[in-house]
């Protein structure tokens, strides 16, 4: 009885983590637009545009959600984040943090 509960919980854990897993390859595909300002691998060429390469994944995701929600505002960046889905944000954060 106990072991079947364990199997069930483990299966649920794997099922939910695969749904939440961010896909860096999909993030790379989506990052073409971002590259115009942040550089193809997340290193910006403009001194007032931030590098994203190697930044913490959760931080990147939070900033993108804040821009999307309007709690962080920037004339250039807010418009970029407005169209992103939660999956896009997770994938982009995974991609840039892996650079």
Chain residues that interact with ligand HEC, rule: CB under 6 A: 33-34, 36-38, 49-50, 52, 60, 63-64, 74, 76-77, 80, 92
Query: Which residues contact residue 83 at a Cβ distance below 8 angstroms, ignoring those fewer than 6 apart?
Result: none
CA distances for 85 relative to 64, 88, 91, angstroms: 10, 5, 10
Nearer to ligand HEC, 15 or 51 (CB): 51
Q: How far is the CB of 4 from ligand HEC (least distance, A)?
A: 43
Going by C-alpha positions, the residue among 72, 66, 69, 34 that lies closest to residue 53 is 34
Nearer to ligand HEC, 2 or 75 (CB): 75
Nearer to ligand HEC, 11 or 42 (CB): 42
């Amino acid at each position: 009885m106990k072991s079947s509960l364990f199997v069930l919980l483990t299966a649920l854990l794997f099922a939910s983590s695969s749904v939440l897993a961010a896909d860096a390859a999909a993030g790379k595909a989506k990052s073409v637009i971002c590259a115009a300002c942040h550089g193809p691998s997340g290193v910006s060429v403009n001194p007032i545009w931030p590098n994203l390469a190697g930044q913490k994944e959760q931080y990147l995701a939070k900033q993108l959600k804040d821009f999307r929600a309007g709690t962080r505002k920037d004339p250039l960046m807010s418009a970029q984040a407005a169209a992103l889905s939660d999956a896009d944000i997770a994938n982009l954060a995974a991609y840039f943090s892996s650079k």
